[in-house]
């Protein structure tokens, strides 16, 4: 009777190695990451991701890039990748007519779609969307139902086949069909102070809106997943430990 071994001299070395590598990879992922697409690097640095996490207020996040604008893309490409994928961050490079560029975007608590037109949120509890300028550190949340502004902040996003990621009634942030030319920002539904209107101002530089003058460079869309609490890591590692012990205790069947 002879015990069969593989080329490494051990029946369990390779499975155990794979388990440990999987554990390390999973822990790194759960630790809060930005996963870039195969098409290029993420627009979000660790510092920018930390800023978005603080504004959303849900702790560490795992952000997965589901769409990155490529040459020749239109709104159809954005919608194909992003519709029905749940809540997202839209992040984009935006340049004004003076050639100044900012990294701006918005948080959409709902899935994008191509046919709903305005997605409205009548109650204040639903008004959790926000626009941001990561370059300047500016944050603009949906207007709340105060005084004569009951409906102003209800316009969360605009969903149409011929627009990119577009927010608010103004539009507060408008991305055109070609995802590049003649975009604009006219803050109306979103404000730095959700109880006070801040209308007709640009998310880029705070200037008064005059005409569509934004040119968009890179655009990326990220889905959002919550990162488990540290206690979850312990349970995960404990489970993997049990698997290791079980595998070590097994012996391969003997061959005649």
Q: What is the DSSP letter of 59?
A: S
Would 24 be classed as within a structural domain?
no
Instruction: Supply the DSSP string of 190-207, one letter for each residue.
Output: EESSTTS---SB-TTT-P
Domain count, the chain: 1
> With a threshold of 0.85, does the pTM exceed it?
no
pLDDT at residue 146, as a whole number: 86
> In the 3-class helix/strand/coil scheme, how is 92-132 assigned residue by residue?
EEEECCCCCEEEEEEEECCCECCCCEEEECCCHHHCCCEEE
Would 4 be classed as within a structural domain?
no
Would 73 be classed as within a structural domain?
yes
Q: Yes or no: say if 104 and 203 are a contact pair by the CB < 8 Å rule.
A: yes
Would 15 be classed as within a structural domain?
no
106: nearest Cα among 80, 142, 136, 64 = 142
**How many CA within 13 A on the CB side of residue 92?**
33
Torsion, Cα 189 61 179 102, to 10 degrees, reads: 70
Would 219 be classed as within a structural domain?
yes
Would 141 be classed as within a structural domain?
yes
- For residue 60, what are its two tokens? 């560490």
| Coil, helix or strand at residue 214 | strand
* Per-residue pLDDT in tens (0 to 9) along the chain, 256 residues: 444 444 444 444 455 454 444 444 444 444 457 766 545 689 999 999 999 999 999 999 999 999 999 999 999 999 999 999 999 999 999 999 999 999 999 999 999 999 989 999 999 999 999 999 999 999 999 999 986 678 999 999 999 999 999 999 999 999 999 999 999 999 999 999 998 888 899 999 999 999 999 999 999 999 999 987 665 444 445 555 555 555 555 555 554 4
Cα–Cα distances (Å) from 66 to 50, 72, 104, 138, in that order, read: 19, 18, 18, 25
pLDDT at residue 198, as a whole number: 81
Would 49 be classed as within a structural domain?
yes
Q: Yes or no: say if 130 and 106 are a contact pair by the CB < 8 Å rule.
A: yes
| pLDDT per position as a tens digit, 85-125 | 999 999 999 999 999 999 999 999 999 999 989 999 999 99
| Coil, helix or strand at residue 65 | strand
Would 131 be classed as within a structural domain?
yes
Range of the domain at 125: 33-238
């Amino acid at each position: 009777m002879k015990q069969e071994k593989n080329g490494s001299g051990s029946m369990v070395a390779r499975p155990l190695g794979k388990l440990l590598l999987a554990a390390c990879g999973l822990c790194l992922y759960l630790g809060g990451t930005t996963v870039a697409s195969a098409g290029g690097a993420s627009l979000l640095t660790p510092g920018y991701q930390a800023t978005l996490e603080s504004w959303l207020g849900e702790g560490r996040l795992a952000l997965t890039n589901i769409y990155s604008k490529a040459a020749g893309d239109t709104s159809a490409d954005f919608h194909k990748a992003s519709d029905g994928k749940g809540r997202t961050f839209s992040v984009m490079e935006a340049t004004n007519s003076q050639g100044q560029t900012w990294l701006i975007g918005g948080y959409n608590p709902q899935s994008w779609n191509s046919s709903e037109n305005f997605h409205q949120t009548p109650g204040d509890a639903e008004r959790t969307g926000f626009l941001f300028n990561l370059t300047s550190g500016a944050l603009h949340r949906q207007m709340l139902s105060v005084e004569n502004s009951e409906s102003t902040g209800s316009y969360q996003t605009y969903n149409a086949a011929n627009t990119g990621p577009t927010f608010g009634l103004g539009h507060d942030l408008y991305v055109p069909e070609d995802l590049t030319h003649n975009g604009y920002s006219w803050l109306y539904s979103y404000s730095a102070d959700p109880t006070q209107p801040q209308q007709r101002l640009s998310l880029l530089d705070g200037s008064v809106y005059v005409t569509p003058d934004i040119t968009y460079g890179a655009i990326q869309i990220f889905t959002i997943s919550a990162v488990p609490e540290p206690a979850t890591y312990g349970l995960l590692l404990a489970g993997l430990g049990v698997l290791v012990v079980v595998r070590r205790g097994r012996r391969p069947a003997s061959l005649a």
